[in-house]
Structure 1
């Protein structure tokens, strides 16, 4: 059987995904600020793509709660809505609790080592004030049990709701408040390594519930 060649439809999908990720990350890291207007022409020039993948990405971002669109009027970066963040937080915390509970019996020594390395990188990033690196290391830490749980439904839910929380985490990780997560991460590893799936899962839930969507230093909605 001949090896399939990547077709145009697959290439278009890769382009759409790339555009989506770049705009999403620019919203999360604050490059595109809450309330900022998003113009197709400007985004097209910035990303070097046509307007079609831009519009498709904006539609996906609207579904994810990161963009607001009024047809024929404007598209803006969504203001940070405390209620929306709290709703996303509750769902995300529940998914991580489930992932850890399912993953603990299957976690290996290599998994625990990877989680500890990620937490060490997370602590270094917080110490130096590197918020982007802190978010990346936090992702690396939580990805281990999520991947080990092997539940595609959990991944799908987290893909939808985690970006909403990352905007709040960007602010939290820039302050001393975020450093309590280092100890929580260490506790998750300790409990999981001891085989206490229930306690590790509850600690993971607590870790995600420490975000405060009602903080005074959030950008105004």
Structure 2
């Protein structure tokens, strides 16, 4: 689709960090605003976001490292296709990092943390019931962010920041389908195990949650 014509409302305030430009472009790719195979021109993107070309070019380099765009020498940048191998690679890394995060977090989780996970799962269930994939993704992000924060491991956070967007593109498809609703039960089980202090079982369920993408991946082969 073309660059959205809403520069006035979406322009970023001057002085915001480069991360803001990266986040806006990353999210536009993940949510389908920019479709697979679509060309991205830094000038148009800069106008859309209300910034200079420099942070846009820097963001595109980061998007390339994350596997969300491809850039050929002397040619424009395009949004990466949903490539099965790239998604499988990212999924295995993301699943392992979330498993490790839960292993580290179980002993650190507070009653407030568990309450936050329950609230996020309720929002997730509501979004799934209404077929709102965007709200489901947001609630799922909030849910898994709790143990990641509690783990307090910046290396895990850095790796997830790089590879999670690749997986999220596929998850938008899953959360629009019935099989994605199984995640509600897995979330509930994970919360219960964390509350019981069962680190190993909780880590196993966390890994299972992220491995549940496998059937959808198989449909892309």
What TM-score, normalized by structure 1, do the two folds share?
0.90
Secondary structure, aligned partner of 1:68? strand
Alignment pair present for 1:121 and 2:123 = yes
CA RMSD, aligned part only?
Answer: 1.4
Partner residue of 1:106 out of 102, 108, 114: 108
Task: Tell me the equivalent position of 1:80.
Answer: 82
Alignment pair present for 1:55 and 2:61 = no
Alignment pair present for 1:144 and 2:146 = yes
Partner residue of 1:69 out of 55, 61, 71: 71
Task: Tell me the equivalent position of 1:162.
Answer: 164
Stretches of structure 1 lacking an aligned partner (at least 5 in a row): 1-10
Secondary structure, aligned partner of 2:103? helix
Partner residue of 1:214 out of 205, 213, 217: 217
Task: Tell me the equivalent position of 1:36.
Answer: 38
Once the 2 structures are TM-superposed, how far is the Cα of residue 71 of structure 1 from its aligned partner? Answer: 1.9
Distance between the aligned counterparts of 1:103 and 1:154, measured in 2?
A: 12
Task: Tell me the equivalent position of 2:11.
Answer: none
Question: Alignment length, in residue pairs?
Answer: 207
Task: Tell me the equivalent position of 1:8.
Answer: none
Stretches of structure 2 lacking an aligned partner (at least 5 in a row): 1-13
Distance between the aligned counterparts of 1:183 and 1:98, measured in 2?
A: 21
- Measured at CA, do residues 46 and 215 of structure 1 come closer, stay the same or move farther in structure 2, by a change above 3 Å? farther
Distance between the aligned counterparts of 2:123 and 2:170, measured in 1?
A: 20
Partner residue of 1:17 out of 13, 16, 19: 19
Distance between the aligned counterparts of 1:103 and 1:47, measured in 2?
A: 37
Once the 2 structures are TM-superposed, how far is the Cα of residue 41 of structure 1 from its aligned partner? Answer: 1.9
What are the superposed Cα offsets for residues 37-59 of structure 1, whole Å, 9 maximum, x if unpaired? 00112212211111111111100
What are the superposed Cα offsets for residues 130-162 of structure 1, whole Å, 9 maximum, x if unpaired? 111111100100011110010111101101110
Distance between the aligned counterparts of 1:166 and 1:193, measured in 2?
A: 27
Task: Tell me the equivalent position of 2:5.
Answer: none
Once the 2 structures are TM-superposed, how far is the Cα of residue 15 of structure 1 from its aligned partner? Answer: 3.3
Task: Tell me the equivalent position of 1:194.
Answer: 196
Once the 2 structures are TM-superposed, how far is the Cα of residue 74 of structure 1 from its aligned partner? Answer: 1.8
Once the 2 structures are TM-superposed, how far is the Cα of residue 183 of structure 1 from its aligned partner? Answer: 0.3
Q: Spell out structure 1 runs of 4+ moving beyond 4 A.
A: none
Distance between the aligned counterparts of 1:52 and 1:148, measured in 2?
A: 35
Alignment pair present for 1:89 and 2:84 = no
Secondary structure, aligned partner of 1:76? strand
